[in-house]
Structure 1
Amino acid sequence: MDQILTELNLMRGPLAAFVLSGLIGWERESRSRSAGLRTHILVGVSAALFIVLGENLVTNFAKQDDQVRFDMIGILGAVVSGVSFLGAGAIFSSKRSEGTKGLTTAASLLAVAAVGMTCGLHLYVLATGVTLLALLTLGPLGRLTDAQKSGGAGTTSDQ
């Protein structure tokens, strides 16, 4: 029973990441972007889980042997590298001089990974604040830059 309660307690991070990443994903989905609700949730929850697993490894196994070393910074770096690889797949250049597409999608995936990692560390106020900043950037600021682009020729598409 104690193990179940411990694991339920560990679920707080991934659950918070689910909600916060879902908010960002919903914004992307509502604008019909290539990476939407499900993709953002999966990236955020996965990032949180990697952090929770890393912290659990440190807590459970570091006491057993002084020779065992754990690098939480390495876990953070691995998550960033993996998500950056996904983001690179979302970015492409148009041969018809339409510019580069997918930069904002790639950036939003990186943002939800950061939110997920922050939730995995149980820093919920920070994760919520960053989510609100991301939503402000994607929402009102996105509409502002879209309006500016429609008035003139832009070379970068917000996708």
Structure 2
Amino acid sequence: MDAIWNELKLMQGLLAAAVLNGLIGWQRERHGHNAGLRTHILVGVSAALFIVLSETLVSTFAKQDDQVRFDLIGVLGAVVSGVSFLGAGAIFSSKRGEGTKELTTAAGLLATAAVGLACGLHLYVLASGATLLFWLTLGTLSRLPARPYSQSVGEQR
């Protein structure tokens, strides 16, 4: 029975990741972007699950044998690499001839993974603060008028 309670306690991080990343995904979906609510929740909860599984492996097997080594930093790197690959696919699959598109989507997926990792580590205040910053960035800053790239480059000369 203790094992079930321990696993339910670990679910806190996954549930927090679902809620916080759902906010980011909802904002993206509300504005008609390709990666929306479901994608952001899946990426964030997956990242949280990877870190929870890694911590569980360490706490379970590190005590059994001194020769077993674990690299939690490697897990973080693997999550970042995997999500970056997903983001690159979003950029690559965007329409040709229109310049680079979907950079914000790729960055949003990476941000979502970071929030998920923080939730998996039970750093809920940090994850909430980061979500608020991401949400404000995606919402408020998107309303600012954009300057064409050629004008901003020309003004610097």
**TM-score with structure 1 setting the length:** 0.90
- Partners of 2:72 and 2:20 lie apart in 1 by 22
Alignment gaps of 5+ in structure 2:
151-157
Structure 2 SS opposite 1:101: coil
User: Match of 2:76?
Assistant: 76
- Trace 1:18-37 onto structure 2 (pairs within 5 A): 18-37=18-37
Structure 1 residue 143: Cα displacement: 1.3
- Partners of 1:95 and 1:84 lie apart in 2 by 20
User: Match of 2:155?
Assistant: none
Task: Give aligned pairs, total.
Answer: 149
Q: Point out 4+ residue stretches in structure 1 off by more than 2 angstroms.
A: 92-96, 152-155
Structure 1 residue 95: Cα displacement: 4.2
- Trace 1:1-159 onto structure 2 (pairs within 5 A): 1-92=1-92, 94-96=95-97, 98-144=98-144, 148-149=145-146, 153=148
- Partners of 1:11 and 1:94 lie apart in 2 by 39
- Partners of 1:116 and 1:132 lie apart in 2 by 14
Structure 1 residue 119: Cα displacement: 0.3
Structure 1 residue 99: Cα displacement: 1.5
Backbone CA RMSD of aligned residues: 1.4
Structure 1 SS opposite 2:34: coil
- Partners of 1:58 and 1:130 lie apart in 2 by 27
Identity of aligned residues (%): 73
Alignment gaps of 5+ in structure 1:
none
Give the letter aligned to residue 104 of structure 1: T
Structure 2 SS opposite 1:11: helix
- Partners of 2:111 and 2:42 lie apart in 1 by 13
Structure 1 residue 142: Cα displacement: 1.1
**TM-score with structure 2 setting the length:** 0.91
